[in-house]
């Protein structure tokens, strides 16, 4: 018989970072277009993880996709 263990608490539950391959897969855009939109404030900003590594908050990318699916414009810092 195995002992039941208490469920562990994940401090980052619901917080996920996506690297560029996942962002491209979800949005259907190429990396150049992602960076162009980001530069214009029309796509979520990336987070610098290391000198050569960036990622995006998954929730921000999903929010952007939902806005687009609903025909709404998305702007960094709130809707336009």
Helix (H, G, I), strand (E, B) or coil at 25: helix
Q: Is domain 17-73 in CATH 1.10.238, yes or no? A: yes
**What pTM was computed for the model?**
0.78
Supply the pLDDT for residue 51: 96
pLDDT band of 5, cuts 50, 70, 90: low
Per-residue pLDDT tens over the stretch 27-39: 999 999 999 999 9
* Domain-wise residue ranges, the chain: 17-73
Per-residue pLDDT tens over the stretch 40-62: 999 999 999 999 999 999 999 99
Sign of CA dihedral 23, 66, 46, 17: negative
């Amino acid at each position: 018989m195995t002992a039941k263990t208490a469920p562990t608490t994940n401090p980052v539950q619901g917080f996920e970072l996506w690297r560029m391959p996942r962002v491209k897969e979800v949005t259907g855009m190429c990396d150049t277009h992602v960076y162009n939109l980001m530069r214009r404030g029309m796509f979520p900003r990336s987070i610098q993880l290391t000198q050569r590594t960036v990622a995006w908050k998954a929730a921000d990318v999903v929010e952007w996709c939902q806005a687009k699916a609903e025909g709404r414009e998305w702007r960094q810092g709130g809707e336009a």
